[in-house]
Chains A and B, each alone.
Chain A
Amino acid sequence: MKLRLIIDEGDAAYNMALDEAMLVLRAVGAIPDTLRLYVFKPSAVTIGYFQSLSSSVNLDYVKSLGIDVVRRPTGGGAVYHDSEGEITYSIIISADKVPKDFIESFRYLAEGVIRAAKYLGAPAEFVPLNDGVIAGKKFSGQAQLRRLGVVLQHGTFMYATNLDVLSNALLSPKIKLVSKGVKSIRDRVTTISEYLGRRVSRDEAVKALIKGFSDALKAELIEGSLTEAELVLANSLKWKYGSREWTYLRP
């Protein structure tokens, strides 16, 4: 298979708007199957479509650090995207190329992240429903949306995320920590750098992800650029992701 590769960065509203724009434009055949690797600038927290904002994010804390908050179009949990330590991927691909079963498709599309971690030297594995895990600790989470025969899966790759900021920014209800058998969020997350005991650079992480996804999906990645249609549609969807109504949809 062939995949267009886009390397990108932007703020949280832009990133979510572009993911949605690409899903729509893929559905009408205006763009090819695509892997986008991107960085959130500034750092941001994204929350799942169904999450209550105030019960998932420490709003005072993130505000004090200038961290953006945006609601995703996809389900799943709250995630911290560290500008200096996390790369997000999104895959926009025709649904007939991935397993129909949702959990199997999470696993299939997350394999690129798992392999990237392995190339860097960390023994990563996929743990259902949607986690990438190293030695029992999460370094990657995936979320997915399907529309009009197209799958959008996006997920995180924490190569050097500041985990103290992460665990202060995200709130986890007691019921969830108890079920995971941990005391705090800090106990259940890790990064590639933390595991290896050395600082992995962004360049290394990007290279590992490109190799990881191309091997996992047996895909030829062809670096390209965004079309005008993607930029125009993303720009017009940005108002939604940046709006108070959307962010506070479930206060």
Chain B
Amino acid sequence: MIVKERSIKEAGGKLVSIRVVVNKDGVIREFSITGDFFAFPPEVIDELCSSVVGLNVLKEDVVRVIEETLTRVVLVGVSKESLLELINSVINEIRESCVRS
């Protein structure tokens, strides 16, 4: 298993932490977004997290799936761009780890 966690907090914004757990083949086992931000409606974030579990980071465009789900939510405390950038960097790091191992 590969576990990656990373957080951001923009000036005047809220804390956002991403945690991704992937098996050795690149399949996402866990995906969570936590922090003190706001999302309207909040359940879209839960939907987003569960929708990527089972996807393979080596074969599928996970960030694209997330980007599409994010069109249905308004975030307060973090911009969608920053959140996607954070997720993208975590996924890229995981891909590199998968390829190396």
Q: How many residues of B contact A (CB 8 A)?
A: 24
Shortest beta-carbon distance, B40 to chain A, in Å? 6
CA distance A175 to B15 in the complex (A): 8
- A173-B7, A179-B9, A179-B11 as given contacts; A50 in contact with B74, CB under 8 Å: no
Q: Which of A78, A144, A176, A179 contacts B38 (CB 8 A)?
A: A144
Query: Interface readout for A127-158 with B: 1 if CB under 8 Å, 0 if not?
Result: 01110000000000001111100000000000
- Give the bracket for the number of chain A residues in contact with chain B: 20 to 34
B interface footprint on A178-190 (CB within 8 Å = 1, 0 otherwise): 0100000000000
Chain A, residue nearest B76 (CB):
A102
A73: B residues at CB distance < 8 A: 42
Task: Output the residue of A48, A103, A147 with the most chain B CB within 10 A.
Answer: A48
Q: Is the CB of A50 within 8 A of B35?
A: yes
Residues of B50-86 contacting chain A, CB below 8 A: 74, 76-77
CB pair A50–B76 under 8 Å, yes or no, is: no
Does B39 sit at the interface, judged by CB under 8 A? yes
A36-79 interface mask toward B, CB cutoff 8 Å, 1 = contact, 0 = none? Answer: 00000000000011111001100000000000000001111110
Q: Main SS of chain B's interface residues?
A: strand
Q: Are the C-beta atoms of A50 and B40 separated by less than 8 Å?
A: no
Of the candidates B8, B9, B36, the one whose C-beta lies within 8 Å of that of A50 is B36
Interface Cβ pair total, 8 Å cutoff: 66
Q: Is B14 an interface position by the 8 A CB rule?
A: yes
User: For residue B13, which residue of chain A has the nearest CB?
Assistant: A129
A250 surroundings in chain B (CB, below 8 A): 32, 34
Chain A: CB-nearest residue to B49: A250
Expressed in whole angstroms, the minimum distance between the Cβ of B43 and any Cβ of chain A is 9
- A78–B15 alpha-carbon span in the complex (Å): 12
Q: 9 closest A-B pairs (Cβ-Cβ)?
A: A77-B36, A75-B38, A52-B34, A102-B76, A179-B9, A250-B34, A48-B36, A175-B9, A176-B15
10 residue pairs A–B, Cβ–Cβ below 8 Å: A50-B45, A51-B34, A55-B17, A55-B34, A74-B42, A75-B39, A103-B76, A129-B14, A176-B15, A250-B34
Contacts beyond the supplied A73-B42, A176-B9: 4 A-B pairs with Cβ under 8 Å: A50-B34, A102-B38, A128-B12, A175-B15
